[in-house]
Amino acid sequence: MYLSPDAGIIGPRSLCESMATEADPDAETPDTYEQFRSHVEQLNYVGDAAGVLQWDQEVMMPDEGTPARSKQSAALSTLHHDLLTDDDVGEWLDELEDEDLDPEQQAVVREVRRQHDRAAKVPGDLVQRISEATSNALPVWKEAKADDDFDAFADTLEELIQLKREYAEAIDPDRDPYEVLFEEYEPYLGLDTAEEALENLRETLVPLIDDIKDSDAELADPFAGDTYDDDTQEELVRSALDYLGYDWDRGRLDTAPHPFSTGTQFDARVTTRFDPEDPLGALGSTIHEFGHATYTLGLPDEHYGTPLGESRDLSVHESQSRLWENHVGRSLPFWEGFAPTVEDGLGVSGSPQEFYEAANTVHPENLIRVEADELTYHMHIVLRFEIERDLIQGNLDVSEVPQVWNDKMEEYLGVRPDTDAEGCLQDIHWCHGSFGYFPTYSLGSVLAAQLYAAAEEEIDDLDAQIRDGDFEALHEWLTDNVHSHGARYETDDLIEEATGESFTADYFLEYADEKYRDLYNC
Q: Site mask, a copy of itself, residues 76-95, x = CB under 8 A?
A: xxxxxx--------------
Catalytic option among 111, 179, 289, 386? 289
Among 454, 381, 446, which residue's Cα sits nearest to residue 412? 381
CB of 465 vs a copy of itself, minimal distance in Å: 26
Exactly one of 220, 428, 459, 522 binds a copy of itself (CB under 8 A); which one?
428
In the range 443-502, which residues lie near a copy of itself by CB under 8 A?
none
CB of 518 vs a copy of itself, minimal distance in Å: 27
**Cα 358 to chain centroid, rounded:** 25
* Sheet order of strands, 267-272 included: 253-255, 267-272, 261-264
Cα–Cα distance measured from residue 30 to residue 135, given in angstroms and rounded to the nearest whole number: 42
In the range 190-219, which residues lie near a copy of itself by CB under 8 A?
none
In the range 46-75, which residues lie near a copy of itself by CB under 8 A?
46-54, 56, 58, 60-75
The answer to whether the CB of 438 falls within 8 A of the CB of 426 is no
- β partners of residue 269: 262
C-alpha pair distances (Å), 34 with each of 27, 47, 95, 309, 393:
13, 20, 13, 16, 42
Residues 6 or more apart whose Cβ sits within 8 Å of residue 512 = 204, 205, 208, 374, 375, 449
Nearer to a copy of itself, 118 or 467 (CB): 118
* Backbone φ, ψ for residue 270 (5° rounding): -125, 155
Exactly one of 30, 34, 91, 124 binds a copy of itself (CB under 8 A); which one?
124
In the range 354-413, which residues lie near a copy of itself by CB under 8 A?
369-370
CB of 264 vs a copy of itself, minimal distance in Å: 4
Residues 6 or more apart whose Cβ sits within 8 Å of residue 146 = 421
242 sits in which H/E element = helix 230-244
Within 10 angstroms of residue 422's Cβ, the number of other Cβ atoms is 16
Examine residue 252 and tell whether it contacts a copy of itself (CB under 8 A). Answer: yes
Exactly one of 6, 28, 174, 214 binds a copy of itself (CB under 8 A); which one?
6
Exactly one of 177, 187, 251, 350 binds a copy of itself (CB under 8 A); which one?
251
In the range 265-324, which residues lie near a copy of itself by CB under 8 A?
265-269, 285, 288-289, 292, 295-296, 301, 304-305, 311, 314, 317-318, 321
Q: How would DSSP label each residue in 466-485?
A: HHTT--HHHHHHHHHHTGGG
**289 an active-site residue?**
yes
CB of 455 vs a copy of itself, minimal distance in Å: 21
Examine residue 432 and tell whether it contacts a copy of itself (CB under 8 A). Answer: yes
Examine residue 127 and tell whether it contacts a copy of itself (CB under 8 A). Answer: yes
What is the dihedral sign for C-alpha 426, 443, 245, 59?
negative
Examine residue 225 and tell whether it contacts a copy of itself (CB under 8 A). Answer: no
CB of 292 vs a copy of itself, minimal distance in Å: 4
435: left (phi over 0), alpha (psi -120 to 50) or beta: beta
Examine residue 437 and tell whether it contacts a copy of itself (CB under 8 A). Answer: yes
Amino acid, single-letter form, for residue 417: P
Nearer to a copy of itself, 77 or 232 (CB): 77
Q: How many residues bind a copy of itself (CB under 8 A)?
A: 118
Residue numbers annotated as active site: 289
